[in-house]
């Protein structure tokens, strides 16, 4: 196992110490079959159970205010159910260090796959920050809206256009492609 890095015209091969562990989770709420075989291992648990089981240890105090470099969390979430928001759990504050009490989101990055900003996947405001669906704006006609939840928590949103181009959903056709891939990165 190795990775490539370097400048134009020269390539350095650097060994990778440890490959990431990929864990497939499904809570079973869609009633889709979960197949158990040696090639496809899916653990049936909720988002919160998965974050508590596989995320960084939120109760551990790290020496010198340095995070555990062994446990980094990247969440890949596809087709979040309509009206639900799991991203607040991905961004939940993670406290480490003794003196400075550094806080940051639990996941370094989360990637959402599915239709965005229209209510088909996730919650229009809490997941996507769609200002037209901010609860007070709809109910009370609020003039000044707060930052989208992901921005407030220190994440930026970037469409992964190369991946969006390759995916499709049941409503896609030659003239319309609704399914997208978005990265929400901390920092």
pLDDT digits (tens, 9 = 90+) for 66-113: 555 556 788 999 889 999 999 999 988 755 544 555 556 788 899 999
Percent pLDDT > 90 in the chain is 22
Please tell me the total number of residues recorded for the chain in this structure.
187
Residue linked to tokens 């990431």? 20
107 vs 46: CA distance, rounded Å: 16
The tally of CA atoms less than 13 A away on the side-chain side of residue 24 is 10
Alpha helices (H) in 55-134, listed in sequence order: 87-90
Pick the closest to residue 109 from 162, 160, 166 (CA basis): 160
Q: pLDDT per residue over 150-187, tens digit each?
A: 999 999 999 998 888 887 666 666 655 678 899 999 88
Q: Could you give the 3-state DSSP secondary structure of residue 149?
A: helix
Contact assessment for residue 109 and residue 185, using Cβ atoms and an 8 Å cutoff: yes
CA distances from 154 to 36, 53, 61, 119 (A): 38, 24, 22, 23
Q: Which residue has the higher pLDDT, 93 or 141?
A: 93
DSSP code, position 132: G
Q: Report yes or no: 168 and 149 within 8 Å, Cβ to Cβ.
A: no
pLDDT above 50 for 6: no
- Predicted TM-score of the model (pTM): 0.74
Spatial contact of 93 and 107, defined as CB atoms under 8 Å apart: no
Q: Are 24 and 37 in contact (CB under 8 A)?
A: no
Nearest to 74 by CA among 104, 54, 52: 54
């Amino acid at each position: 196992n190795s990775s490539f890095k370097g400048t134009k015209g020269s390539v350095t091969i650097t060994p990778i110490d440890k490959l990431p562990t990929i864990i497939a989770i499904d809570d079973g709420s869609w009633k889709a079959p979960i197949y158990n075989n040696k090639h496809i291992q899916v653990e049936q648990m909720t988002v919160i159970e998965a974050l508590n089981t596989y995320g960084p240890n939120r109760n551990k105090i790290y020496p010198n205010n340095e995070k555990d470099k062994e446990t980094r969390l990247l969440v890949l979430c596809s087709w979040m159910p309509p009206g639900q928001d799991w991203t607040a759990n991905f961004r939940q504050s993670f406290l480490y260090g003794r003196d400075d009490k550094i806080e940051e989101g639990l996941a370094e990055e989360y990637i959402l796959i599915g239709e965005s900003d229209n209510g088909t996947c996730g919650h229009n405001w809490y997941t996507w920050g769609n200002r037209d669906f901010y609860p007070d704006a709809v109910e009370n006609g609020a003039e000044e809206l707060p930052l989208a939840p992901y921005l407030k928590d220190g994440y930026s949103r970037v469409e992964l256009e190369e991946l969006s181009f390759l995916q499709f959903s049941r409503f896609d056709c030659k003239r319309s492609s609704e399914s997208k891939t978005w990265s929400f990165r901390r920092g």
